[in-house]
Amino acid sequence: MTGLKKWQAYALAGVVALTAVAGTAFVFRKDLILYFVATRARDATVVLPNRDILWQQGPEVAAEAAGKRPPNIVFILADDLGFNDISYFGGGAADGIVQTPHIDSIARNGANFTRAYSGTAACAPSRAALLTGRYGTRTGFEFTPTPPGMTRIMDLFYNDGSRRHEMLFDAEAVKRQPPFAEQGLPGSEITLAEALKPRGYHNIHIGKWHLGNSEEFRPNAQGFDETVMLESGLFLPEDSPDVVNAKLPFDPIDQFLWARMRYATSYNGSEWFEPKGYLTDYYTDEAVKAIEANRNRPFFLYLAHWAVHTPLQASREDYDALAEIEDERLRVYGAMIRALDRSVGRVLAALKDNGLDDNTIVIFSSDNGGPGYIGIPDVNAPFRGWKLTFFEGGIRVPFFVQWPGTIAPGTTRETPVAHIDLFPTLVTAAGGDLPDDRVIDGVDLLPYAGDAGAAPDRALFWRNAYYRVVQKDGWKLQVTTKPERTWLFNLNEDPTEKVNLAELYPERVAEMTGLLDAHDATQREPLFPAVGEMPVTIDKTLEEEATEDDEYIYWAG
């Protein structure tokens, strides 16, 4: 060989080959990472075929007539539902093409709390607040648990040079975190299910939990007699002929979910098995069976739907029913809302068919507002902000309560209420006693809903690390140190938070900052640290390019 010895030529060829492999690996590094995530998820747990759930049967004959025993309670919680997704508010997804008549009927037949708020702007801490009646900062459940590796992958995918603001990742905090399964609501907390137990309630959980997955934290350890648990995150297998998928290539969360999530559920801690059919419909099928099984005793049904959370997957039947929606992603999303509304209708029909509708409290809400990372601009219209912000779009939620004979149809209440009020309201309605050994932040709303009591007069608080908010007497103060910003809004005159009054009213800013400081002094440190901080642009979806003039916050989790 001219100029090169044979071994040198081989070495050079090897270097070239390795360089090519390395270059190819770098170009396709995201695909390789997701492939390994998917492989690990498949290998980690076996998912068995579907099996029938044998619900525990109540008595054949009721000891008392339905109207004589404590009211049944059905709480239907949507996941990440946008304010504009509810047609009762005058909107509806896809410019009103997607209507929600069954959800709307709960407001028409009961009470609509027009200014209702979630416990926070993210899934898990919001659920902890509504089940305990206590702020997440009081229980320490301040941040959302994320599966192993999710935040790191989000960091790698998000910080690809295309974004104005970088996501922040704290590798040291990861080392201080307990295992994912142990990032849960402490067993020392008293849940709504536990508080209802002394009144003879049979407690049932169906769907999402997200409050810990080891023995201390799962629903059966937190007062629920039976649980059908969301164990992963697909509504149907990705390649099912009965599903239509809408992927979000601009969203790192979505890419992780598609790689890692499986189609799986469990019953009372069993091995994982496949649901039967589209997940929203499957949960509804089981809810109807649970209602029938418990028609002769008081029960609490916590139906915590995964809909309309990503990954965006619709049943083909619902997708085909919305052919007039041209945008593919919006059509899939609208079909998911359609399935959710059908679920509510079927649950209401099951109560009526079993003669229980007059003695059942039915509540409908969402755990927080719609996220900007699905790329649907008007999901929270007319409000600014998204999930992962404390602007109205992130925390203002539907809150409908129906109880025939106690709450008059068409009742409207405009004073701010919150998810923390569910615990004291429902325990009191059941004739139970509130715990006297801890602070319950919520208040009983039944006197207010029934016109027999005054409206709640109090401040409401939210906190996510350095991002803090208080609302009092129609004024709302938002302060954050990342970036340094202060917003003051008069929601009575400016409900969509368009006009920042902080510079005009420094005395009110100081007064409300004092409320925040006093409140924080009574709260506890987080149970586990945040490992990532996500920048969220207030007025643009994740799909849209942020500019220098766009307002944004960082959300820790």
Q: Where in the sequence numbering do the catalytic residues fall? A: 123, 210
Enumerate residues 6+ apart whose C-beta is below 8 A from 537: 165, 372, 544, 546, 550, 551, 552
Helix (H, G, I), strand (E, B) or coil at 193: helix
**Two tokens, residue 553:** 């916050």
Element (H, E) at 94: helix 93-96
Contact 343, 280 (CB under 8 A): yes
**Two tokens, residue 533:** 């901080």
Using alpha carbons, select from 230, 235, 379 the residue that is nearest to residue 313: 235
Characterize the bridge pairing of strands 467-472 and 312-315.
unpaired
**Two tokens, residue 299:** 């029960």
Report d(CA 326, CA 239) in Å as an integer: 23
Diameter of the chain by CA atoms?
Answer: 101
Q: Which three-class secondary structure string do you get for 200-215?
A: CCEEEEEECCCCCCCC
Report d(CA 470, CA 94) in Å as an integer: 33
**Two tokens, residue 97:** 């093409």
Q: Which amino acid is at 115?
A: R
**Two tokens, residue 474:** 């129609």
Characterize the bridge pairing of strands 532-537 and 168-169.
antiparallel
Task: Say which residue the tokens 């039944």 belong to.
Answer: 446
Angle at CA 335, nearest 5°, toward 109 and 323?
Answer: 120
Enumerate residues 6+ apart whose C-beta is below 8 A from 430: 70, 71, 73, 196, 199, 201, 298
DSSP label of 62: -
Burial class (CB in 10 A: 0-12, 13-18, 19+), 108: middle
Q: Between 29-44 and 6-27, two packed helices, what is the crossing angle to 10 degrees? A: 70
Using alpha carbons, select from 114, 206, 163 the residue that is nearest to residue 491: 114
Q: For residue 477, what are the CA distances in angstroms to 462, 468, 472?
A: 10, 8, 9
Contact 267, 53 (CB under 8 A): yes
Characterize the bridge pairing of strands 360-366 and 72-78.
parallel
DSSP letter string over 355-409? T-GGGEEEEEEESS---GGG--TTTTTTS---TTS-SHHHHB--EEEE-TTTS-T
Task: Say which residue the tokens 């030529």 belong to.
Answer: 9
